[in-house]
Structure 1
Amino acid sequence: MTLPARAEDIIGLTAHDKSGAKVGKVGQVYYNDQTEQPTWVTVNTGLFGMNESFVPLQNARTEGDTLVVAHDKAVIKDAPNVGHDQHLSESEEMELYRYYGLPTQRGVATDRRSESGRTSREAASMTRSEERLNVGTRTEEVGKARLRKHVVTEEQQVSVPVRREEVRVERTPLTGAERSAAGKHADFSDAEQEVVLHEERPVVGKETVPVEKVQLGTETVTENRTVRDKVRKEQVEVDGVDERRKR
């Protein structure tokens, strides 16, 4: 397929070399001032596509979204680093012709710009990264708790009611009949009687009885803690660009 006549149909195509290896995106198209034919394109090469290399369009063709050029990728990447202004100077263009081993053509190459006055080209870009804190939690063993029992002796005092018997003397006057009956046998003699006295005494006994159940358990409480750490981030700086041309 022949090359498109319009710059906007070439800019943004992916350039491949004659063996099919991908070279990069087409950034600018340069036309011959006399023939008004596209003569050169710049292709973004190098790390992150930050470098632009001039590639001749002689014997190039388009296949869908691909621009197939007639030179190897390694040759294109090592092309002379000439300026990327609106015009290629005659000496710059001659240097490129000599590098690619092409016959020179009359007319200085000029890049084709869009109606806004800015070059229709794909902007160079890079990815900026930064670190962020991802804070989580993990469960760690911080200690152990044990239940242990041992025997201690303490003194207890308990008040216990006890009963006892005491001797009490009761005197009851005899009635007439009792006196008469006793008088018939009355005589003086010794006599003796016994009374057995009783009393209660405290008796101490011991028994082991269960009184309560003791067990260990855990509960979860939540508290807030502040985590601090240093993070890195990338900053983008542009070198070698006139401040008036920055947007």
Structure 2
Amino acid sequence: MRLTEQQVRSLYGQDVQDRSGATIGRVGQVWADAAGEPTWVSVRTGSGTHDESMAPLHAARLQPGRVRLPYDRATVRGAPAVESDTEQPLGVDQLTLLYRHYQLPGQGAVRQPEQPPRGSTGAPETVRVEERARFGTVREPVGTARLRTRVVTENVDGTVPVAHDEVTVVHEPVTNAGDVPADLGEEQRDLVLHAERPVAVKERVPVERVRLARHEVVEERPVHAQVRREVVDPDVPDVARRDR
């Protein structure tokens, strides 16, 4: 991959994405080969350590503000790492591990530029770097809403009409001689009596449907970050200083 000087300068601090488009981290440093062509970048993954994972640039796609690698996140994060802001060039052992990790053919010597590529005028110059804070949001679970059904018992009172049989003795004169029994004797006649008693019959009936509805509420919240920037202090002898 042949890059212009401006493209190389723009690599520093750009987002690094895996092959699915997920952000892995940001470009920390750039390494060039013996011919001065950028070949490796280190990725600041924000994992809380001072190490930066190495990734090759040979098949990377440069897009506005980001570098997209043809590897997944786990491969890049698990790659051999270097210490942040190191000024040591990559050694043979490091290169061997990197080529083996990314399964790359061949191996060439590389050198690490101490600063982003300089101009060709021969005059000393440096590139001042500063951090920029970009605020966004991260979606994460904060809790679980549940519908629990439990059974409670309550007393229900009511009244119902009940009926029962009562007996009244009725005496009626006999006017027909034919109703006279043939002989005197003992006899028993039964009358079954009935009475109602109150009972409660329970039945299950659906009364309402209950569900959970999720609504997204957007609100503004303050967010703070600390960013670092480089300050260039020129050290020029008075005899050569010219105020502007």
Q: What TM-score do you get using the length of structure 1 for normalisation?
A: 0.43
Q: What TM-score do you get using the length of structure 2 for normalisation?
A: 0.44
